Structure 1
Amino acid sequence: MYAFDIERPATIADAIAAMKGEDAQALGGGQTLIPTLKQRLAMPSKLVSLSGIEEMRGICREDEGRICIGASTTHTEVAAGVEGYAALASLAANIGDPAVRNRGTIGGSLANNDPSACYPAAALGSGATVVTDRREIAADDFFDGLFGTALEEDEIIIEVRFPVPEKAGYIKFEQPASRFALVGVFVAKFADGVRVAVTGASEEGVFRWSEAEAVLSSNFAADALDGVALPGSGMISDLHGSGDYRAHLVGVLTRRAVSAA
């Protein structure tokens, strides 16, 4: 590790002020950022910890049926506190290990956009809205390649708003050492159609599988996907699996997610 300053603001207003004018980086639970700092992949001169801001914690349900989750809410809190969205609660309950779930936050996960993280698939598959200190960003516009997002350098995620679908399921094939998703698929059925989001597979990060969405919107059944497949080109290929293997897993896990929904 290297030397840096750290501030622990108690309010959103204080956090916004702390992010201005310096090479500052927002810090959620640190489960992605701290290893990144250790490897010198990022070297901000100041960290602004958001974990102590109570107004950024908690879960509520709006009259419109949306579930709103504060950005500093931990994975354990999401798993225990989300009512009426079983797929999202189950996803949160199976992130990492107990230490990661008790420290990691939904806002930190989305802001870092690790290509194998689970929450990006949930947000994109649900058609969620990411609320920052200055605007609202649709999930379709938020993710921008590996580790990339639409966030500006000093922008802070305050809340994530999830529409609740009629049915949903999330299935991931874990990399056993890290429990990150080698491939993960989130499927959500709404009145106006189906959304399918895939994490862990593509060289471009989390993405929507439009061909599967079209098929499932007409017939929401696992066997409706027979004959529908992704090519291996453009998929991550590493020591854990080839691009063709990951493409095959996407098809298998999508069928399982539909069955689980």
Structure 2
Amino acid sequence: MIPGEFTYHRPSSVSEVVALLVEHGDEARPLAGGHSIIPMMKLRMAAPEHLIDLGGIADLKGIREDGAHIVIGAMTTQADLIASDLLSSKLPIIRETSRLIADPQIRYMGTMGGNVANGDPGNDMPALMQCLDAAYLVAGPDGEREIPAREFYEAAYFTALAPEELVVAVKIPTPAAGHGFAYEKLKRKVGDYATAAAAVVLTMNGNTVASCSVALTNVADTPLYAEEASGILTGSTLDAETVKRAVAAAEAITMPASDGRGPAEYRTKMAGIMMQRALTRAAERAQK
């Protein structure tokens, strides 16, 4: 189908974007890579009267180190994330996750900001950002604020972002050197959303888990930070009984829909299996 009529804007600064969002409110939508909003417009599931193209704003692009954090501009593409030497050395799980998103054509256009900001439970980066305890830097008429990723998602396509606000960057604490990591994703075919996926980041002190963080993708109407499972694993030696309890705790918070990817019960169990696989690989990668 063909989208309805809309007015196209291409601002050159974040302040211009915010002014347009304030002026037009719910009638305006930012355009990042376009892989979410354009299909919805074609299906008439979304009909913004004003489309604000973010592609001309240089300040929204790039990856940099800022003290104990890494900051990624919202318009940085998945291809840029994959190619970044800084991320490969400090946050390799981002590269690993980006390589599992869709296909190369989409990754050259799809952006970090678009992936995290629209509240699609099938997107991969939101759960990963929760796992990494990231925060989203948001610009609005009252200035900038930070929203923790673990507090950002309220329901499918509903977030803590106000209509006149824009995610401008993602701020991620740099994990400890030698940390273990893994993102495991089960999908039907290349380019598909996850049937279930899990992110794990941990550190080891000898044979004991010093810290652990677990998050799940596409098994509820929001990404899921598995806080109880993370706590169970922290301080353990990853013995079989402890891992079993942690997996059960993670599965207990899932609420997947039954759809073409499988019945709800199957998807819940696959979330547990993805978590186990990610935990095993993360532990193997961690320096003791």
Give the TM-score taking structure 1 as reference length.
0.93
Shift of residue 124, structure 1, vs aligned partner: 0.8
Q: Kindly tell me: are residues 168 and 231 of structure 1, through their superposed partners in 2, closer, same or farther at Cα, counting changes over 3 Å?
A: same
Report the secondary structure of 2:183's partner residue. Answer: strand
One of 269, 274, 286 as aligned partner of 1:253: 274
Partner of 1:169: 182
Partner of 2:14: 12
Report the secondary structure of 1:10's partner residue. Answer: coil
Farther-moved stretch of structure 1 (222-231 vs 168-177): 222-231
- Aligned partners of 1:189 and 1:195 also within 8 Å: yes
Partner of 2:214: 196
Shift of residue 190, structure 1, vs aligned partner: 5.7
Quick check: 1:187 aligned with 2:193?
Answer: no
Q: Kindly tell me: are residues 232 and 176 of structure 1, through their superposed partners in 2, closer, same or farther at Cα, counting changes over 3 Å?
A: farther
1:166-185: CA deviation from partner (whole Å, max 9, x where unpaired): 32211111131642111111
- Aligned partners of 1:56 and 1:72 also within 8 Å: yes
1:95-143: CA deviation from partner (whole Å, max 9, x where unpaired): 1011110111110111112111100111111110100113110111111
Partner of 1:99: 105
Shift of residue 25, structure 1, vs aligned partner: 0.7
Structure 1: any 5+ residue segments left out of the alignment?
Answer: none
Q: What is the rounded CA distance, in whole Å, between the counterparts of 1:220 and 1:28 in structure 2?
A: 43
Shift of residue 236, structure 1, vs aligned partner: 1.6
Counterparts of 1:217-228 in structure 2, within 5 Å, are 217-219=234-236, 221=238, 223=240, 224-227=242-245, 228=247
- Aligned partners of 2:226 and 2:253 also within 8 Å: no
Shift of residue 52, structure 1, vs aligned partner: 1.6
Q: What is the rounded CA distance, in whole Å, between the counterparts of 1:4 and 1:179 in structure 2?
A: 29
- Aligned partners of 1:109 and 1:119 also within 8 Å: yes
Partner of 2:164: 154
Aligned positions, number = 259
One of 212, 232, 255 as aligned partner of 1:215: 232
- Aligned partners of 1:116 and 1:183 also within 8 Å: no
- Aligned partners of 1:117 and 1:200 also within 8 Å: yes
1:55-96: CA deviation from partner (whole Å, max 9, x where unpaired): 1100011221x1110000000001111232111111112210
- Aligned partners of 2:255 and 2:268 also within 8 Å: no
Q: Kindly tell me: are residues 85 and 110 of structure 1, through their superposed partners in 2, closer, same or farther at Cα, counting changes over 3 Å?
A: same
What amino acid sits opposite 1:12 in the alignment? V
Partner of 2:39: 35
Q: What is the rounded CA distance, in whole Å, between the counterparts of 1:179 and 1:215 in structure 2?
A: 31
Report the secondary structure of 1:144's partner residue. Answer: strand
Report the secondary structure of 1:26's partner residue. Answer: strand
What amino acid sits opposite 1:20 in the alignment? V
Farther-moved stretch of structure 1 (51-60 vs 193-202): 193-202
Percent identity between the two aligned chains: 29
Q: What is the rounded CA distance, in whole Å, between the counterparts of 2:187 and 2:239 in structure 1?
A: 21
- Aligned partners of 1:146 and 1:205 also within 8 Å: yes
Q: What is the rounded CA distance, in whole Å, between the counterparts of 1:9 and 1:232 in structure 2?
A: 42
Shift of residue 155, structure 1, vs aligned partner: 0.7
Q: Kindly tell me: are residues 212 and 157 of structure 1, through their superposed partners in 2, closer, same or farther at Cα, counting changes over 3 Å?
A: same
Partner of 1:61: 65
Cα RMSD after superposing both structures: 1.9
One of 129, 138, 141 as aligned partner of 2:148: 138
Q: Kindly tell me: are residues 151 and 225 of structure 1, through their superposed partners in 2, closer, same or farther at Cα, counting changes over 3 Å?
A: same
Shift of residue 232, structure 1, vs aligned partner: 8.9
What amino acid sits opposite 2:255 in the alignment? G
Give the TM-score taking structure 2 as reference length.
0.84
Counterparts of 1:226-241 in structure 2, within 5 Å, are 226-227=244-245, 228-229=247-248, 230-231=251-252, 234-241=255-262
1:28-55: CA deviation from partner (whole Å, max 9, x where unpaired): 1011111111122221100111122111
One of 70, 78, 82 as aligned partner of 2:81: 78
Shift of residue 20, structure 1, vs aligned partner: 2.2
